[in-house]
Amino acid sequence: MRRQQTAILEWLLLAALLLAGAWVLWIQLRPPRGLGPQIAAHAVAITATPLPGTGTRISGARLAGALALASDDPGFGGLSGLAALPDGRLLAVSDAGQWLLMRPVVQGGALVGVTDAEMGGLPAPPGGEKYDMDSEAVQVSPDGRTWVSFEQQHRILIYDGVPPRRPVAARWHTPAMRWAPNGGGEALALLPDGALLWLPEHAQAGVHRGVFTDAAGQTSSITVAGLPGFAITDAVALDGARVLLLHRRFTGVETAAALSLIDVAALPSGSATARPLLRWDRNSAWPIDNMEGAALVREAGRPVLYVVSDDNFSRAQRTLLLRLELPAGMKN
């Protein structure tokens, strides 16, 4: 009888693992959600629910507020990229080819809400189709243009203004043709000198094979050794010497996120190695979900990182916005 019970439990566990694996595969490999005609810019009401953990530290970084964001707007969700604007607002892009602007509300150094939210559709280039608009990363250059990285057809579209009004240029790079359709340019960083780093989500043979364009406009293939077992989901220049990488592990059974650093000086040589900075998971004091976007601001010289999660338009997940005060030793 005991052997029979053990066998039944083993089969139930196997079935649960198979169901979890199938769900993750569907979430990761399904085609991007289509929205039909381009969505016009409009105000959106967002409910921000504070989450526990504020004030706790991991590896010297402090959680300065965490929110669960929700909206009745049918286009809200799927946030995959995040950028900070000079006026204090955050710009996000989604898997459904939409942009979202919002202003964090900070009181006493802690994130307590968001306001002034509006959203709209990313304009497709002439001849482009909506299913090609799976946006995964966003940056805003000093000249006010919006740079957006897309999966499926891996390319970078450069838009005039914020919010993105019309595409004025596009960048295609040969190395990106080898990226998986749903595992491409998740991470896009613009460096202070005008250089560009573009990295895919998934590693091949232990390294992420990306693209680096230096300040002179010379583009080359590079490899970045990431964190074992993690995907790279965003990148942001910490300063002229270092790039901060956001990583996530999302299997349906395990959910974790991590931050690491790579040295800009190593990129022209063709290879760099990520140095782990911190990690959190479901057992940590910080909230966790499918963390995909990161944006950096500086307050009194100290770096503060906003991190957003992608809920995959699933009721089983949440859209989280975290505010992290990075260690004081990471100042310029």
pLDDT given for residue 276 in this prediction: 97
Instruction: Classify residue 331 by its DSSP letter.
Output: -
pLDDT given for residue 195 in this prediction: 97
What is the pTM (predicted TM-score) of this model? 0.88
For residue range 6-57, what is the model confidence (pLDDT) as tens digits? 656 666 555 555 554 443 333 344 444 444 456 899 999 999 999 999 999 9
Contacts 24+ apart (CB under 8 A), 49-54: 50/112, 51/287, 51/320, 52/285, 52/287, 53/285, 53/286, 53/287, 54/110
For residue range 162-192, what is the model confidence (pLDDT) as tens digits? 999 999 999 988 788 889 877 789 999 999 9
Q: Which residues of the chain are under the pLDDT cut of 50? A: 20-36, 332
pLDDT given for residue 242 in this prediction: 98
pLDDT given for residue 197 in this prediction: 98
Pairing of strands 196-200, 208-213: antiparallel
Q: How far apart are CA 283 and CA 257, in angstroms?
A: 12
